[in-house]
Homo-oligomer: A and B are copies of this chain.
Amino acid sequence: MIQFQCDYNEGAHPLIIQRLCDTNMEQTVGYGEDQYCEEARALIRKACEREDVDVHLLVGGTQTNTTVISHTLRPYQGVLTAVSGHINVHETGAIEATGHKVLAIASEDGKLTASQIEVAMQAHLNEDGPEHMVQPGMVYISFPTEVGTVYNYAELEKISTICRKYSLPLFVDGARLGYGLCSPESDITLPQLAKLADVFYIGGTKVGALFGEAVVITNEALKRDFRYSIKRHGGMLAKGRLLGIQFATLFTDNLYLKISQHAIDEAMHIKKALKSKGITFLMDSPTNQQFPIFSNAQLEVLTKEFLFSVWQRIDEEHTAVRICTSWATKCENVDKLISAIEQL
């Protein structure tokens, strides 16, 4: 079976594996205070074109979301998110486990808008007795979103402006950040993101690393004692250098964006083939996740050779699936898929 069901099927980019091998028996101090972590932090600061940001390397996405959000909010505050936000759906209540309500806002395309945030804040502030309700305390968006869509610069800037108006730190979940930055429909750059967000992370797990998420804190008020929060949530890796080596490699010679671009290119090939065949989509995604709607008959044929994620049952006869590419997707596998699509 050729697996397209997710973007974490393989291990790590060969350059990372090579460097892990080369350094394996070196002795370093623990908990992210080694030279490789320092190197990674420096490279990420440089890529963000900001010397003043704090960078922390964590292991996984749920852990990162939990740590950032619980570090940011006051106890009685909640986090605004699109209803489809990963924190609202697929983290087994990890945010609530830290005592905070996830304040979900309806969204058709996985995105929040600046005006939705404004409406939510005005609604809260105009309550008679707002203290009976959870106070919105920050905004969480995913870039790209869980359904593959992206924000463009203008949209993100508006969101950032509203957030600052209401003193709501803006947190961008970048579990698939590379695939968003390389999307043909987004014009956002990493330095721009570092200007507009108060805190965000650069996903490694789905973009070239074995695991790892690099948190970038740009808002001075959120920097203090962040390492305490990492440790409290079990996210401080003893052999932190593993994270340092991976991110240092990804941020050398622009590797992170290069391998992200590959995933986008392959996804666009698949998308084009699907469209040519008249297949419709649950969501018009310009990133590495595609959500075609197949008939049962089509799906029966394709799933003999290919593994997809079942995303949503549309009706008795049709199902939307998720097809993912990644940095690791082989062109030959994409060719086989396209060929199979053409023969449907």
Consensus secondary structure, chain A interface: loop
A335 shortest CB reach to chain B, Å: 16
CB-CB contacts of A18-50 with B at 8 A, as 1s and 0s? 001101111111110000000000000000000
Contact (A235, B232) CB under 8 Å given A76-B92, A133-B89, A242-B11: no
Contact count band on A: 35 or more
Closest B residue to A129 using CB positions: B31
Counting chain B CB atoms within 10 Å of each CB, which of A28, A131, A229 scores highest? A131
| Interface contact B23-A20, CB-CB below 8 Å | no
Tell me whether A6 is interfacial, beta carbon within 8 Å. yes
- Is A112 close to B, CB under 8 A? no
Residues of B within 8 A of A89 (CB): 133
Q: Decide if B21 touches A92 in the complex (CB within 8 Å).
A: no
Whether, in the assembled complex, A255 has its beta carbon less than 8 Å from a beta carbon of chain B, the answer is no
0/1 string, A80-122, CB within 8 A of B gives 1: 0000000001111110111111100000000000000000000
Asked if A71 is an interface residue, CB under 8 A from chain B, the answer is: yes
Q: For the complex, is A142 an interface residue (Cβ under 8 Å from B)?
A: no
Q: With A27-B3, A102-B101 as known contacts, state yes or no: A93 contacts B78, CB within 8 Å.
A: yes
Which of A59-67, A193-201, A295-303 interfaces with chain B? A59-67
In contact, A225 and B90 (Cβ under 8 angstroms): no
* Contact of A132 with B20 in the complex, beta carbons under 8 Å: no
Give, as a whole number of angstroms, the nearest-CB distance from A177 to chain B: 15
User: In whole Å, how far is A263's beta carbon from the nearest beta carbon of chain B?
Assistant: 15
* Given A62-B231, A76-B92; A10-B31 close (CB under 8 Å): no
Whether a CB of chain B sits under 8 angstroms from the CB of A210 is yes
Q: Which residues of B contact A242 (CB under 8 A)?
A: 11, 210-211
What chain B residues lie within 8 Å of A20 (beta carbons)? 11, 17, 20
Task: Verify A101–B93 contact, CB threshold 8 A.
Answer: yes
**Are A93 and B97 interface neighbours, CB within 8 A?**
no
Q: Is the CB of B25 within 8 A of A328?
A: yes
Could you say which of B24, B29, B132 contacts A11, with CB atoms under 8 Å apart?
A: B24
A60 pairs with B228, CB closer than 8 A = no
- Find chain B residues with CB under 8 A from A128 CB: 309-310
**6 intermolecular pairs with C-beta atoms under 8 Å apart:** A63-B235, A96-B96, A131-B236, A135-B228, A210-B242, A233-B233
